[in-house]
Amino acid sequence: ANEVDDNIKAMVCDLRQTQLIASMVEAGFDYLKDLDIIVNNAGIAGETAGVGEQTLGGWQECIQVNMTSHFETMRLAVPRMNDEGSILSVSSVAGRVGFAYRLPYAATKWAVIGMVKSLANELGPRGIRVNALLPGIVEGERQNRVIEAKAKVKNISFDDMKNEILSGASLNRFVTHEDLAEQAHFLCSPLGKNISGQAVSVCGNIEKSG
């Protein structure tokens, strides 16, 4: 389980700096020679606060990482990728229902779905499928930080905030990273050959946000 495939190459890229994305894409093509799949997985949680307490800097950083980095990667890579390929952009269930106190985050996740649907129409003639993956409440330290921040804004306990958030999903449980990886694999593989332009939720049926 700890072994790493020799064909995997890791690169560091600060996606807040648009000019570095071109170097990342070029290095990827130098290593891979061609490209079949793009997964835009970069994203930040953004600030958790009422709209009057949100900052312009936080808004702009959220747009840069959650939207612009996706766009710039695709702008540079798509013209050179193979036909019959697949693109998957990670959005969020916030791109469907909105999240209170997380306006920048939710706005960028709605935008990702719009990019996906537009690009699916554009690239369909090349056989390239484009979809969005919408995670729900994903267990882990990042989610705990969000819960802590929202609990502080609403002046309630961590456990009360956690229960309130989970109550928005009919399954009343967290999504795991493994859940998301399996769905991403399905959408990018030949198993999903007729799925394109879709926003696929893995969220336990969230109908409202805490």
The closest of 91, 85, 100, 51 to 67, measured between CA atoms, is 91
Most confident of the ranges 1-5, 20-24, 166-170: 20-24
The pLDDT score that the predictor gives to residue 164 is 86
Q: What does the pLDDT look like over 78-136, one tens digit per residue?
A: 999 999 999 999 999 998 888 889 999 999 999 999 999 999 999 999 999 999 999 98
List of domains in the chain: 36-202 (3.40.50.720)
pLDDT tier at 138, thresholds 50, 70, 90: confident
pLDDT of res. 4: 60
pLDDT at 153 over 90: no
Q: What is the pLDDT of residues 58-74, one digit of tens each?
A: 999 999 999 999 999 99
**Cβ(87)–Cβ(74) under 8 Å?**
yes
Q: Check whether 1 has a pLDDT greater than 50.
A: no
What's the pLDDT score for residue 5? Answer: 67
Tell which wins on pLDDT, 19 or 58: 58
Burial of 152 (0-12, 13-18, 19+ CB in 10 A): middle
**Candidate list 43, 47, 105, 147, residue with the active-site label:** 105
**d(Cα 197, Cα 123) in Å, to the nearest integer?**
10
Catalytic residue flag (residue 31) = no
